[in-house]
Structure 1
């Protein structure tokens, strides 16, 4: 039982690190796209405010929520494998 708890805690820590990495990468890509959009369209005004507003919109987007699949997919697959091995 202790080994299982160690596996679960270790897996949670690993998945959290993966989630943070993917989240930071996705946010930086979005920031780059917003800066490129600002430059391409030749907008005037405060670029930083435009980027911050775009990132605020991104925080509520579906893409941001889909990154939580980093937790859902591995846990679901592990549960399915355990079920199939023991009960099928």
Structure 2
């Protein structure tokens, strides 16, 4: 029963952490795109929005977004390792 509880609450905790880190990373990327545009404006508001949309689309396909998925992988590996080390010694 304890293992099931660990899995459920661990998954919920990792999901909350994933969404918080993902949201923060997106906001940092958006802020950077806006600052880049403000430093060298090259058109009107429509061009600015196009620049930001293109940058966010590149972010969605990028490596950083995939790295955030390690929030699910690393804790699982650590728990499995701790379980193995505890039970084989």
TM-score of the pair, normalised by structure 1? 0.93
Q: Which residue of 1 aligns with 2:35?
A: 36
Matches of residues 9-88 of structure 1 in structure 2 within 5 Å? Answer: 9-45=8-44, 46-88=47-89
The root-mean-square deviation of aligned C-alpha atoms, in Å, is 0.9
Unaligned runs of 5+ in 1: none
Deviation per CA, 1:26-84: give whole Å up to 9, x if none. Answer: 00000000000001122214211211110010001000100001011111011111111
Counting matched residue pairs gives 87
Moved more, 35-44 or 61-70: 35-44
Spell out structure 1 runs of 4+ moving beyond 2 A. none
Q: Say which SS state the counterpart of residue 9 (structure 2) adopts.
A: helix
